[in-house]
Chains A and B, each alone.
Chain A
Amino acid sequence: MAGFKPQFYPGKSKVAANRKKYIDPSYKLEKLRTISDDELVKIMGHRVPGEAYKTTHPPLAEMGEPACPIREMVEPTPGAKAGDRIRYIQFTDSVYFAPLTPYMRAWLGHTRYRGVDIGVLSGRVPLEARERDLEKVAKELVETEIFDPARSAVRGATVHGHSLRLDENGLMFDMLKRYVYDKKSGNVVYVKDQIGVPLDTPISVGKPVKEEELRKRTSEFRVDGDPFRKDTELVGFIQRLHMLRTEAGFDSSKVKGI
């Protein structure tokens, strides 16, 4: 259908505009830091850099597939083709103006990446995919504007901290102290992998983004930032949706002219 342009998200606030921008896959996320492939592999801790991918089943070409029109049509991802294990990267996002809210990770993840399994919990968001696909996705998630070294963190376990006060260096609390602030360089440095196993060599994920910049980039509504209730368009949208759900639940055939 020509002329239809996806709109992704309603709302007239800056936060709503940021949400729309991040969910829209045609918007190229701004790259703010570089983490090498090997460093990322070390932080995730699923394999040693250079090690072959472990498999959960033989490559599809070798094992053959059942006669199914959907399998014939739908192109498997490179990881699925090779039979890679399914692995994860998990993030915790501080409530203090982190670039993403937990739900945003799922929304943008599903519009930007294929074959991903994302789950949202109050303090953590795992993204699971075939291992080589995961590594590609994880790179963008850590290197671009949707990650902040101080307010977002890669945490596989013991994720507690998203709603706690920031420390004296502006870092989100981490009970496992996976990362430290290097005062000399001003960088946040990971000294443990995502589940807390010490790394042989520290890995820098760069400087924390400045507070003013974070407030500009955030997709979080906050009463001391952009309050949700001020975005009357978005509030009205959500209220309409909930009313429609309720009325349709009562009798969907009678909901007309909505």
Chain B
Amino acid sequence: MRLGNLLIFAGLKIDRNKTLERSPMAKYTDKIELYDDRGRLFASKVPLEALSPLQNPAIQKIVSFVKQCVTVNLEGIEKALATGELGGKWCIIQGRSLKLDLVKNADSIADSLKKTLQVSKDDDTDVKVLKGGKHLLVKVPAKRLNAGVEYTTGVTSTAAALCCSIVENFKVSIWNADLIHSAVWGRYPQTMEMLGGNVSSLLSVPQQNEGMGYALRNVPCAHIALITKKNAMNAAALSSILEQAAMFEMGDAIGNFERLHLLGLAFQGLNGNNMVYDIVKENAKSGTLGDVVVSTVKRAIADKVIKPMDKLSSGYVPYTTDDLNLWNAYAAAGMLAGTMVTCGSARAMQHTPSVFIYFNDLIERETGLPGVDFGRVAGTGVEMAFFSHSIYGGGNPAVFHGNHIVTRHSKGFTIPCVSAAVALDAGTVIYTPEKISGVVGEVLSEVPELREPLKYVNEAAVSIKGGV
């Protein structure tokens, strides 16, 4: 909540214009200007670490919500029971069906589900009925997750509690309880995941993660675009938060590599110094990807991040820098702006891999400095181009994520651009984000911190900026 220059966050009153003294605990001297998704200044001189997943309360809340929030497709359960199509498409058990009015009775199901999930009366359990009872948004209490080591507690406890609620509320007999289990859990445990089930979360089962710490990267861009209601700035922000938070979990953002990721999150994902917004604005009416490269280089020169070296014999001037991590963040912000201009002007998502390769090729040739993630984004673009243009199968950019076999290589810098591109698409793909995401994206867009992450992360950064 804002009141003039006063920001009231978590009960604390903070003056946004007042620069608090930096704590001697801060590792980095970098200060960031925070802006909202429409290029309006929110706060100045915020220490970089106030945006760190290790410090920022809103980022931590987002990560918690990703674990706690689960979606239930009551309509899907009702239909599965009525048709006997249980555990995936065409998997019909002939002669077995059950007519239960789940959607009509969504409120009573939600009540008993909440009671079953609650650990104590006043805990953070929540069950919201959406779309006239077709969907439920469930928040599993943190206490349940804290009592275990795996994030799957969210879906397992919701699915199990839902089975109990339906059996109890509809007095389902012992002979039909197996149908309820299959309609809710799908084919699990015959399959590794809940195939054909009607309880889902943003996170996939751990066996589907490519390696250690990949859980937060295993979220398709279709979900991100829909959760943020196709606001490209927020889509990029949410993607960047999940990707860069995963970098800490994977063991990438630590020691000498931590600042690289924090700067990437601040400038590319969170529109730090309004860089992404400014560059898009500069090229919004008629700019090409090449023009975005030029704008990015100009900004880096003006901010003294890079400086010219001696002229070569052809007249070409290579650039140098003493801060490659900061240069990388500028290039990453430019690349997101390039995606927004290219995919935005075509209102099509398919251009993303082309932007990944050629934004980097062009900026490398313009400056003589390495491109985003020091070549890894360009390489990722080559693979993604193959797998997103029907050459060797694959799918459209909406199915990609940071855990995908062809897009996992860049450490957090590509997927925010893909999410933004998916958000900007006007309907050029056969498998639309809505089709890919199912109910998950739509239901989770009810969570404000997931829907508008920029706003909440900015507020939280200001609330702690004196303490990092």
Contact = CB atoms under 8 A, between A and B. Distances in A.
B340 A74 contact: yes
A252 B230 CA distance: 34
- Chain A's interface size range is 35 or more
B358 A114 contact: no
A interface: dominant SS? mixed
Contacts of B16: none
B442 to A, nearest CB: 13
Given A8-B365, A110-B290, A75 B346 contact: no
Contacts of B347: 60, 71, 76, 80
B205 interface: no
Interface string B289-323: 11100100111011000000000111111101110
A253 interface: yes
Interface string B230-274: 111100000000000000000000001101100000000000000
Contacts of B328: 248, 252
Contact of A110 (B281, B288, B299): B288
B370 A1 contact: no
B298 A245 contact: no
B68 to A, nearest CB: 27
B341 interface: yes
Nearest to B259: A253
Nearest to B260: A252
A133 B37 CA distance: 30
A223 B285 CA distance: 43
Contacts of A52: none
Contacts of B316: 7, 9-11, 233, 237
Interface stretch (B55-63, B112-120, B420-428): B420-428
Interface in A90-117: 103, 106-107, 110-117
A25 interface: yes
Nearest to B230: A66
A237 B364 CA distance: 10
15 contacts: A10-B368, A25-B290, A66-B231, A66-B423, A70-B420, A80-B345, A107-B365, A110-B359, A111-B290, A128-B350, A233-B312, A245-B375, A251-B257, A252-B324, A253-B256
Interface of B: 37-39, 229-233, 256-257, 259-260, 277, 280-281, 284-291, 294, 297-299, 301-302, 312-318, 320-322, 324-325, 328, 340-342, 344-348, 350-351, 353-354, 357-359, 361-362, 364-366, 368-370, 374-376, 385, 389, 420, 423-424, 426-428
